[in-house]
Amino acid sequence: MLLKKITACLLLVALLFCCSACGAQGDVALDISGAQVGTQVYLYYYDEVQAKAAEYGLSKDSTPTEYSEAAARLCAQYVAVNSRFLESGESLSALEKANVSAEANSLWRIYGKYYSQIGINKQTLTRIQTAKAYRDRLFFGLYDTGGTRAVKEATLQKYFTENYLVFQVINGYFTKPDESGVDVPMTEEEIEKVRNHFGTMLLRMQNGDTIEEVNDDHLETKYSSVAVTILKKGSLTYSEDFFKAVSKMKPGVPKIVQSEQDQYIFLVLKQAVDFKTGEAYLTNRSSCLRALKEAEFLEEIQREAETYKITKYDKVTEKLQKEL
């Protein structure tokens, strides 16, 4: 029964793909279990493979055939996503369609000239972005609240707690610009002065001053703002040592954190996370879900794509590759 449903869906995908492929053999690069993939979609994924060769197990020593086969596999995954979405019977919301259009317009504004030069038009770029929207809808439909494989909220919150920090910070430096404007290390006496200054700020906060009030004096200004920072583990904004140190802090209790290399000093106020209404968690919740389950979902799409029969029109694809 499942095989019949998949076959019927592929036939529908094939019909839609054929309609968009203009019906001319020269406009078709691949036949994927009856779904004819146009030259522009193939070019998009071939270009993707060239740009990110290492991600697809390729190198400068890989042959054009190996690049072409990798692009064909991505095309098969593109067909698999379209097939699954059609099978689901769902459609994109007005907001999702607007986001697809906005993303395609943005990419075209930046890369349109390049895409035009290699033979990809804006309509094809929109089709690619639409497939990505389909993939996201399928993913969240499975793993988000109400899905058949929904991840428990407690699991998401645990992941956020272990991989994100929410804090306010005043940064200090143990370097200074020399006569030519290049940063050079401070003297020991100057470093000690900075440490004492941060120690005084910490004491003020422990005695009830806010981090904004302390920062006003630090910057010799008034009504300064100390933005709330959301830091993901592995980010290059702060060091791994900084992340570990702040992770161990108690929310609401200020502390000085110093880099091991003696280049920076920080006065940090860690924030408690509100999992019900807090912006820090809610704006990163989808990212947590992706981190936990997206690889599993993409592997499933890949396995499905591997069951398709791929027929490559070699004369067409080779010509495209030479022109690219």
Confidence grade of residue 315 (pLDDT, cut at 50, 70, 90): confident
Please state which of the ranges 29-33, 45-49, 172-176 shows the lowest mean pLDDT: 172-176
pLDDT of the residue at 263: 85
| Residue 262 token pair | 């003696």
> Is residue 127 pLDDT above 90, yes or no?
yes
Please state which of the ranges 12-26, 27-41, 64-78, 302-316 shows the lowest mean pLDDT: 12-26
Counting other chains too, the contacts that 8-16 makes at CB distance below 8 Å and 24 or more residues apart are 9/83, 9/84, 9/86, 9/87, 10/34, 10/35, 10/79, 10/83, 10/308, 12/86, 13/79, 13/82, 13/83, 13/86, 16/82, 16/86
For residues 246 and 150, give the distance between their C-alpha atoms in angstroms, rounded to a whole number.
Answer: 31
Q: What is the pLDDT of residues 219-263, one digit of tens each?
A: 877 767 799 999 999 999 999 999 999 999 999 999 999 986 768
In this prediction, residues 108-121 reach a mean pLDDT of: 96
Instruction: Supply angle C-alpha 79, 85, 89, rounded to 5.
Output: 140
> Is residue 21 pLDDT above 90, yes or no?
no
- Note whether 197 and 166 are within 8 A (CB): no
Instruction: Say if 2-150+284-323 and 157-270 have the same CATH topology.
Output: no
In this prediction, residues 264-291 reach a mean pLDDT of: 97
pLDDT of the residue at 63: 93
Domain 2-150+284-323 has CATH 1.10.4030: yes
In this prediction, residues 255-282 reach a mean pLDDT of: 92
Chain centre distance of CA 190: 42
Give the chain's mean pLDDT. Answer: 90
Confidence grade of residue 18 (pLDDT, cut at 50, 70, 90): very low
% of residues, the chain, pLDDT over 90: 80
The ranges assigned to domains in the chain are: 2-150+284-323, 157-270
Most confident option among 13-22, 26-35, 149-158: 149-158
In this prediction, residues 115-137 reach a mean pLDDT of: 96
Q: Looking at the domain that runs over 157-270, which CATH code has it been given?
A: 3.10.50
> Is residue 5 pLDDT above 70, yes or no?
no
For residues 132 and 138, give the distance between their C-alpha atoms in angstroms, rounded to a whole number.
Answer: 10
In this prediction, residues 144-164 reach a mean pLDDT of: 98
pLDDT of the residue at 316: 87
pTM score, two decimals?
A: 0.85
pLDDT of the residue at 72: 97
Please state which of the ranges 22-36, 90-104, 246-260, 277-291 shows the lowest mean pLDDT: 22-36
Q: Tell me how crowded residue 174 is: count the other CB atoms within 10 A of its CB.
A: 20
Distances (CA, A) of 4 to 18, 80, 138, 310: 21, 15, 20, 19
pLDDT of the residue at 323: 75
Contacting residues for 159 by C-beta, under 8 A, at least 6 apart? 288, 291, 292
Confidence grade of residue 6 (pLDDT, cut at 50, 70, 90): very low
pLDDT of the residue at 4: 44
In this prediction, residues 6-13 reach a mean pLDDT of: 47
> Is residue 317 pLDDT above 70, yes or no?
yes
Instruction: Tell me how far apart the 2 most distant CA atoms of the chain are, in Å.
Output: 79
In this prediction, residues 279-301 reach a mean pLDDT of: 98
pLDDT of the residue at 260: 66
- Beta bridge partners, 108, equal none
pLDDT of the residue at 294: 98
> Is residue 159 pLDDT above 90, yes or no?
yes
Handedness of CA 127, 131, 136, 141 (dihedral sign): positive
